[in-house]
Amino acid sequence: MYPSLSREEVLRYSRHLTLPDVGMEGQRKLKGSSVLVVGTGGLGSPIALYLAAAGVGRLGLVDYDTVDSSNLQRQIIHGSDRLGQPKVESARRRLLELNPYIQVDAYNTLFSASNAMEIAAEYDLLVDGTDNFPTRYLLNDLSVLSGKPYVYGSIYRFEGQVSVFDARSGPCYRCLFPDPPPPGAVPSCGEGGVLGILPGTIGTLQATEALKLLLGIGETLTGKLLLYDALDLSFQTIQLRKNPRCRICGAEPSVTSLVDYEAFCGVPANDHAVPAPPAEWDVEPQELSQRLRSANPPLLLDVREAVELQISALPGACNIPLYQLAARLDELDPQQEIVAFCRTGVRSTRALHLLRSAGFTQVHNLRGGINAYAQQVDPSLFQY
């Protein structure tokens, strides 16, 4: 038995009520439904906004990041007046402003194997608003083990993907991608960039699939992968097959519970969790400034993408993007002192591990990256 609609709700949802495939019964079904949205950033913003506006009765939001000014180019659920606030609280406030007739639960915590089952237990549907592989595999396995459909979406630069994974009636994410890519093989949105409107396109498609699943209407993307390219505005649909030997949804599964997904993927679930290098590897911005003026300055190795040099750059730096570094090690002298840097220190930390494993012993990391250098040494440089 679905909850009834108030007079105010009938007026609010009137454009749904006149749709033959929705009507009063469908709208009541939405009011009685619940959706867990993991991530309240680029994808999570349009997903949560449209599900709230549509009248999904209960939304759960999981995130533990805070609102930063660099988010606002695409994370439209947040505003300039909420900088520094927890994203889930900022998003919850906006959703209740949009629709006060729904319930919004905020989970300001890392979504992990230790709490995922407990958090998801109260919801009918799982929707992916994240941008990392550990959480993606976690959501997939949670979907299979709990029997809840998983609406998947991902974005990178100008391209996006959408699918619905439901092992009860089709393949799961592991059927398509049994193993994650090697660590460092795929840049994050922070490293590679993303067209601001792209998560709006992909997130809205995810919200569409979620509503279709909740209402039981139309044909969903179960068993299909939708590919979108914003540069030529093209869509492609690839048919997917269930893998009978899939490690979690196959005939003889080897994965029967949630695992340590950061260990499985070999990468942390977010940049904040990237292990800091040993203290002796770090060079502080002020110290680097002094050493650059010495008689024997170190080689500056900029591991950012070339386009980032248009924003800020350190004079004389050698630019080898992180994702080209392994193939271009012969351009560097293993005996020379090197200080690697990037935007905030995440990519340069990875570069140090690569260089040290290749026999480079005199390599260091600019702590905090070029943003910290701009803040502490050269305020004429832009921070981004």
Select from 251, 179, 188, 246 the least CA-distant residue to 39. Answer: 188
**Tokens for 379?**
């305020």
The position carrying tokens 């997903």 is: 47
Which sign does the torsion angle of CA 368, 370, 376, 377 carry? Answer: positive
C-alpha distances (whole Å) from 138 to each of 24, 35, 61, 150, 282 are 36, 17, 16, 11, 33
Tell me the one-letter amino acid at 214.
Answer: L
Q: Which of 172, 249, 265, 342 is catalytic?
A: 342
Give catalytic status of residue 342 as yes or no.
Answer: yes
| Residue in the structure block whose two tokens are 């209960």 | 58
Check 189, 246, 249, 265 and give the catalytic one: 189
How far, in Å, CA of 358 to CA of 81, rounded? 47
Nearest CA-CA partner of 128 in 23, 210, 188, 193 = 210
Phi first, then psi: give them for residue 232, nearest 5 degrees: -115, 10
Strand order of the β-sheet with 299-302 is 282-283, 363-366, 338-341, 299-302, 318-319
Active-site annotation holds for 246: no
- Give the catalytic positions in this structure: 189, 342
